[in-house]
């Protein structure tokens, strides 16, 4: 079966009889193959260009990362950090491209090896393939090395944001106490503060799902031989008679990363101190007495 050179239809038999599709007829026997055929250089050129472009991209990113540092340091440690920064900047562009180009270049070079006489530039093709594989491995190694440190920095940034929210809340509560002489009974009472820049409103929106527990500590020391200390904790929502209660302590529990209260990742703030773990209800601790605006333990 042969192919008609005019219409491309498949012709069974000899083309001298003509093509049944277009009616073309052969005017003579096919021409013989030339004695010498020029070898192709397209494969070698494509492989070399791919390796060169990847190497130039990584080199440009490396020089840019080295130049952006505060001091132009050429020590090995500084060069390594610059290479890691350059690789991290190319993780979504040059790194996927290096894998695709390495696969394509390997296929092209394999076809060149199968018919070596038909292609020229084998040394350039090998150099381009080696450059492509080297850049691919270097980018993969540098990105893989920086992943744990990047995750640690992201965790530190998350904790810094949580601590900033807790400290902002403590600052607002301290402003309220200086203004009214007591901590607020609820967080909504913070709206009584002056808020020209809207910071209090933003804070209340951020801690809206928090569990705020104000309290007052009334402590007295007995003079007996045991020198026992009696502590009585009165919650802000207790129904008491007489003068209004001056709230001297508080505890604030905010949901953590899961957004649910009562889990292990909750954020806890007690009297301006960030607690790493929840305090048990029956924990025995030293009584806290507020005297003249100072905290005594």
pLDDT tens sequence for the chain (297 residues): 677 777 777 777 776 777 777 877 777 776 777 777 788 899 999 999 999 999 999 999 999 998 888 787 888 888 999 999 999 999 999 999 999 999 999 999 999 999 888 899 999 999 999 999 999 999 999 999 999 988 899 889 988 888 888 999 999 999 999 998 889 888 888 888 988 888 888 888 888 778 888 888 655 334 443 333 333 444 444 444 445 567 888 888 888 877 777 777 788 888 888 887 544 333 333 333 333 333 333
Dist. CA 229–CA 171, nearest whole Å: 31
Task: State the Cα angle at 172 between 168 and 177, rounded to 5°.
Answer: 145
Beta-carbon contacts of 134 under 8 Å, excluding residues fewer than 6 positions away, are 55
Residue 140: CA count within 13 A, CB half-sphere: 10
């Amino acid at each position: 079966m042969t192919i008609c050179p005019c219409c491309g239809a498949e012709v069974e038999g000899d083309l001298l009889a003509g093509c049944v599709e277009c009616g073309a007829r052969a005017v003579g026997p096919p021409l013989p193959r030339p004695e010498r055929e020029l070898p192709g250089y397209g494969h070698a050129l494509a492989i070399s260009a791919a390796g060169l472009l990847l190497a130039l991209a990584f080199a440009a990113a490396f020089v840019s990362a080295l130049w952006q540092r505060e001091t132009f340091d050429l020590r090995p440690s500084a060069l390594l950090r610059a290479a890691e920064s350059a690789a991290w900047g190319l993780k979504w562009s040059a790194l996927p491209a290096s894998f695709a180009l390495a696969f394509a270049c390997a296929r092209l070079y394999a076809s060149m090896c199968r018919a070596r006489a038909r292609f020229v530039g084998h040394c350039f093709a090998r150099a381009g393939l080696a450059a492509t594989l080297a850049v691919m491995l270097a980018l993969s190694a540098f990105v893989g090395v920086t992943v744990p440190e990047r995750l640690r920095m992201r965790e530190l940034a998350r904790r810094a944001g949580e601590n900033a929210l807790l400290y902002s809340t403590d600052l607002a509560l301290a402003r309220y106490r200086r203004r009214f002489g007591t901590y607020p009974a609820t967080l909504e009472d913070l709206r009584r503060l002056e808020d020209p820049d809207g910071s209090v409103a933003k804070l209340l929106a951020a801690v809206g799902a928090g569990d705020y527990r104000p309290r007052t500590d009334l402590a007295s020391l007995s003079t007996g031989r045991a020198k026992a200390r009696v502590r009585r904790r009165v919650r802000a929502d207790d129904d008491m008679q007489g003068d209004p209660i001056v709230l001297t302590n508080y505890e604030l529990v905010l949901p953590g990363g899961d957004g649910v209260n009562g889990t292990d990742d909750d954020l806890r703030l007690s009297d301006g101190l960030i607690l790493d773990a929840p305090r048990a209800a029956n924990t025995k601790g030293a009584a806290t007495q507020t005297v003249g605006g100072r905290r005594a333990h």
